[in-house]
Chain A
Amino acid sequence: MKNCLVVADPNKCIGCRTCEAACGIAHSEGDFFTANVSKINFNPRLNVIKTAKVSAPVQCRQCEDAPCGKACPVNAISNENGCVSVDQDLCVGCKICMLACPFGAIELASQYKDGKLVNQKELKMSEEGNPTVNGKGRVVANKCDLCHGRDGGPACIEVCPTKSLKLVTYDDNHNIVEKKDEDQREVS
């Protein structure tokens, strides 16, 4: 089974960034509307590109033979759950995946677990040469996971006001099939 992916139609995209907001919220465990601003995990995994010629969100293509995964020195990136996924506990933040991705679709972001920022084991920041233990948050690779485990599929597709995003998948004969978002709604 090949991976699905979300692609955008730049002709329809109006650059409103609603998808970014939806992505951020979908991957945030806390209550977005009541939590303290500094504690919110808001790290969208897609990035709306706006230039004079084009506006469109760019996100992971879920490559079958993912360059990010090949470049990862700690094997934290693998092809799992129908998408290219990051094991954030293994990631050490070496940033090579950011260089490896041909689409610039992978980013590093603070790691959250159970709604809390994960601190580094013992990163010592030097102050005048004296190492001190300082709780610096872990920063790890963060990328589109097709909203794995989310009822209703990718949040970005759901919220796009111009329906410019779609999930692309394959049928049994490996032909590309577009799932219209209407179909998706029926499923949910």
Chain B
Amino acid sequence: MKITIDGKACEAEKGEFILQIARRNNIYIPTLCHSDALPGLASCRLCIVKVIDRGRAKIVTSCIFPVSKEVEVVTNDDEIKRMRKNIVMLLKVRCPENKEVDELAKVFGVEEKRVKRFKLDPEENCVLCGLCAKACKELGTGAISTVNRGMYKEVATPYHEPSPECIGCASCANVCPTNAIKVVDKDGERKIWGKKFKMVKCDLCGEYFATEEHVKYAYDRLGVEKPEKLMCSSCKKKVTAKDIKSIFENA
């Protein structure tokens, strides 16, 4: 089927999300909490678009809105721009000092004075999109989740205790759109979600490259003993290159 996005006719399959279709057709819809790897959450609401079906328009979040009939989509008219600006203003109120949110605020022209009306917490970086918890669940670890409701909602480990499930892989930090999750690697130790991890040293260069728990998790998944000597990715490459060199020398 065909849908029209900003006047451009786009091929679409029934059930595809509007955001997906737009991206494929090089039409830009801003997002914050969207990740290609994890299912849409529609939490940041930046991806709102207007769907016009037989003359009636409604605003939907494009990341989770599946197309079912040949509709017209408007991604960037004045109404949507205004709404997005308000959304970013509210995000900015929650995370006043966050770099990523600040960048958005600049692009959408959020006025400082409208943000300043509220009591601000400069320490807050989390926009509560929940991508981190989704990623952790996908991994099968499930060490973190969103807890409480309303204004007390937050992402945390159970009872704010260091989670025994957490392997310190930092996938949560990778998917976090606002870099709100702190990972501190120092002196062969990683600190994340209130838990300390011992890190594994590369047998060749001595660099710490992963937590012991993560390495165990990886080899457990494979069902083999972990090798005696563990190497970081770049040393493995070097050794591989050397091995190939010696193969060609022998030939």
Contact = CB atoms under 8 A, between A and B. Distances in A.
A121 B220 CA distance: 11
B223 interface: yes
Nearest to A68: B247
Nearest to A75: B227
Given A102-B251, A121-B222, A71 B227 contact: no
A100 B223 contact: no
A100 B240 contact: no
A90 B222 CA distance: 11
Contacts of A75: 227
Contact of A71 (B222, B236, B247): B247
Nearest to B229: A75
A106 to B, nearest CB: 12
B148 interface: no
B243 A73 contact: yes
A70 B243 contact: yes
Contact of B250 (A89, A90, A102): A102
A100 B227 contact: no
Contacts of B246: 67, 70-71
Contacts of B222: 121
B36 to A, nearest CB: 14
Interface in A87-116: 89-90, 96, 99-100, 102
Contact of B247 (A73, A74, A96): A96
A10 B59 CA distance: 82
A121 B219 CA distance: 12
A52 to B, nearest CB: 24
Contacts of A73: 236, 239-240, 243
Contacts of B244: 71, 96
B184 interface: no
Interface string B219-232: 00011100100000
B224 A71 contact: no
A74 B243 CA distance: 12
B224 A67 contact: no
Contacts of B227: 74-75
A100 B250 contact: yes
Contacts of A100: 243, 247, 250
B247 A67 contact: yes
B102 to A, nearest CB: 38
Interface string B198-225: 0000000000000000000000001110
Interface of B: 222-224, 227, 236, 239-240, 243-244, 246-247, 250-251
11 contacts: A67-B247, A70-B243, A71-B243, A73-B239, A73-B243, A74-B227, A89-B224, A100-B243, A100-B250, A102-B250, A121-B222
